[in-house]
């Protein structure tokens, strides 16, 4: 082992841990920390990086593993669930952003080929960052969250096709002929791997999966072997890695493979972003700061406007259009990889790479705050967004009731709301269910319940609800700010209504009581209290506990049939 490379890598990782730790405290994506660490470790400051060949190889492995991982999670069966809106919005946003971006880049003085790469880089958004932020906000199951994930998947497909073509190019070769050749070879490779994935891999992985360690070893070997085979066929290693992942995507064990491969992928990908940061040319950035800001503003403002215009024209409300639009207000990891590949094949200079990386840093940071505080931004901007909303009934305005005089209003159906609904049916009173999952609302409407789609964070929705006649308002949503808003709106309209909300934190529960909640449901504490009551009532009677076991299993099976899941971890 070369101790100099080991020590060099150790220093780089120490810097990365410190910088990324600070970035996480600031609630920014970790990718910003990786790039900044590369800047610090590079010639700009500490000049630690010396073994560039070794680290470059590591970073290339990271790209291959990323594409393998993407392929692994692109099961062709998922495409059926993307939907019309995601397809139109995803392709439309890429087309409009790249076209306008190309015009802007040419206007700013870039060459045709550089403008093409810059425009492509501006067109894609970060699936990893969006998924993380939507998950943190508990918005993955919301309508806008589903639409966003849908058009990000479409973007990923387009980005992958572009990567496959670029990675197969060599400086000076004809783009059109190579693109056709690459596509034909790619189709041939897909057909061969499809046959293998259908008739060989299922039986093989079934045997291999008996040992988790062997499953990991097989997955890595499969990725490298197929990627190497493609290299010998004069195709790119990246193309082989992607197709290797797709061939395993239909395996019943692809979730296990994903979970085991993710740490390995992340480590090598971190080195890619560190190398990216170390290669930034700051003299070029300072000279082009105006250009960087123009391109960054186009991504931060232009991309959301394009999505809002597309969704509005398809009949969606301005709120869902706005929230979905904010999710594309940054460039993607793919954007950086596309330009890096452009540099490697000699199409663009390192200066363009530095410029796009700077745009990435600005948009990663800016979009994070825009998405995290989107529910607070919307009420401020709402009156200006009507231009993006068609008049008349909206596609996403699922409202299944006529009279607005319900005695009980329930926000949130799954988990706690399911049991509450069973009790509401027994007391035979008029109630309304509001949930942000469109599938849940469709299901409840078919069962004959008064219900409507909506997000309790939406002040406009709450203003439409008739709280004046409500005797009880229940929120099973475990979000503190959301429950504060509901309490405020209910008290403004009806001081005599019973208000029940959910909380997972003692200090937040005390605050909710102080703001006017009649009762705060705390599930974790209620579970312990319920079990202690069982002990007091029945002592140590095993027969009673076995009866409870049977009843509980029946209840859990019902929940399972309905698709309900217990949260793995609730964040504040």
In DSSP notation, 40-104 reads HHSTTTT-----HHHHHHHHHHHHHHHHHHHHHT--GGGGGGTHHHHHHHHHHHHHHHHHHHHHH
Give the span between the Cα atoms of 501 and 227, in whole angstroms: 53
CATH topology classification for 399-561: Rossmann fold (3.40.50)
Q: What is the pTM of this model?
A: 0.70
What average pLDDT does the chain have?
A: 81
- Residue pLDDT, tens place only, 255-305: 778 778 888 888 887 888 888 778 776 667 778 889 999 999 999 999 999
Q: 435 - beta bridge partners?
A: 453
Task: Please give the residue that has the higher pLDDT: either 238 or 452.
Answer: 452
Instruction: Report domain extents, the chain.
Output: 3-387, 399-561
pLDDT digits (tens, 9 = 90+) for 140-161: 777 788 888 788 878 877 877 7
Q: How confident is the model at residue 562 (pLDDT cuts 50, 70, 90)?
A: low
Q: Within 10 Å of residue 131's Cβ, how many Cβ atoms?
A: 16
- Expressed in percent and rounded to 5, the helix, strand and coil fractions of the chain are 70, 5, 25
Instruction: For residue 37, give every residue at least 6 positions away whose Cβ sits within 8 Å of its Cβ, in sequence order, or none.
Output: 12, 15, 16, 19, 20, 274, 277
For domain 3-387, say whether CATH 1.20.1530.20 is its number: yes
Is the pLDDT assigned to residue 105 strictly greater than 90? yes
CA–chain centroid gap for 315, Å, is 24
Report how far residue 427's alpha carbon sits from residue 500's, in angstroms, rounded to the nearest whole number.
17
Least confident of 72-76, 139-143, 203-207, 543-547: 72-76
Give the model's pLDDT for residue 119: 93
């Amino acid at each position: 082992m070369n101790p100099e490379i080991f020590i060099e890598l150790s220093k780089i990782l120490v810097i990365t841990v410190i910088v990324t730790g600070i970035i996480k405290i600031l609630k920014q994506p970790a990718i910003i920390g990786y790039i900044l660490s590369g800047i610090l470790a590079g010639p700009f400051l500490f000049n630690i990086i010396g073994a560039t060949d070794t680290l470059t190889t590591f970073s290339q492995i990271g790209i291959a593993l990323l594409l393998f991982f993407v392929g692994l999670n692109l099961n062709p069966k998922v495409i059926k669930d993307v939907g019309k809106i995601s397809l139109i919005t995803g392709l439309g946003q890429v087309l409009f952003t790249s076209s306008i971006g190309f015009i802007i880049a040419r206007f700013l003085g870039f060459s045709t080929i550089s403008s093409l790469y810059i425009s492509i880089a501006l067109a894609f958004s970060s699936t990893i960052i969006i998924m993380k932020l939507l998950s943190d906000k508990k918005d993955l199951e919301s309508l806008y969250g589903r639409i966003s994930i849908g058009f990000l998947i479409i973007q990923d497909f387009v980005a992958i096709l572009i990567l496959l073509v670029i990675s197969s190019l060599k400086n000076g070769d004809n783009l059109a002929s190579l693109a056709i050749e690459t596509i034909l070879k790619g189709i041939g490779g897909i057909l061969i791997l499809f046959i293998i994935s259908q008739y060989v891999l299922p039986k093989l992985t079934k045997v291999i999966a008996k040992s988790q360690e062997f499953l990991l070893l097989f997955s890595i070997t499969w990725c490298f072997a197929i990627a190497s085979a493609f290299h010998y066929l004069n195709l790119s290693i990246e193309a082989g890695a992607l197709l290797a992942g797709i061939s395993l995507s239909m395996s019943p064990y692809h979730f296990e493979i994903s979970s085991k491969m993710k740490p390995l992928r992340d480590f090598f990908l971190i080195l890619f972003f560190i190398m990216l940061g170390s290669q930034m040319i700051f003299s070029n950035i300072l000279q082009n700061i105006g250009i960087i800001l123009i391109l960054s503003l186009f991504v931060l403002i232009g991309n959301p406007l394009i999505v809002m215009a597309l969704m509005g024209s398809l009949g969606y409300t301005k709120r869902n259009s706005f929230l979905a639009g904010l999710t594309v207000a940054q460039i993607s990891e793919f954007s950086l990889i596309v330009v890096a590949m452009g540099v490697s094949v000699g199409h663009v200079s390192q200066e363009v790479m530095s410029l796009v990386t700077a745009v990435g840093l600005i948009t990663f940071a800016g979009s994070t705050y825009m998405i995290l505080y989107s529910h607070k931004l919307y009420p401020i901007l709402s009156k200006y967004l009507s231009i993006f909303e068609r008049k008349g009934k909206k596609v996403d305005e699922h409202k299944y009731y006529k009279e607005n005089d319900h005695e009980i209003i329930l926000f949130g159906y799954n988990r706690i709301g399911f049991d509450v609904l069973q009790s509401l049916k027994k007391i035979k009173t008029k109630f309304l269910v509001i949930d942000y999952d469109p599938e849940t609302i469709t299901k409840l409407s078919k069962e004959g319940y008064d219900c409507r789609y909506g997000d309790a964070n939406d002040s406009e929705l709450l203003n439409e609800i008739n709280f004046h006649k409500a005797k009880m308002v229940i929120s099973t949503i475990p979000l503190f700010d959301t429950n504060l808003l509901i309490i405020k709106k209910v008290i403004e309209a009806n001081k005599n209504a019973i208000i029940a909300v959910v909380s997972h934190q003692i200090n937040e529960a005390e605050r909710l009581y102080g703001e006017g909640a009649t009762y705060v449901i705390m599930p974790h504490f209620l579970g312990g209290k319920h079990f202690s009551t069982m002990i007091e009532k029945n002592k140590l009677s095993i027969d009673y506990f076995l009866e409870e076991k049977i009843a509980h299993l029946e209840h859990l099976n019902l929940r399972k049939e309905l698709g309900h899941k217990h949260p793995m971890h609730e964040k504040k």
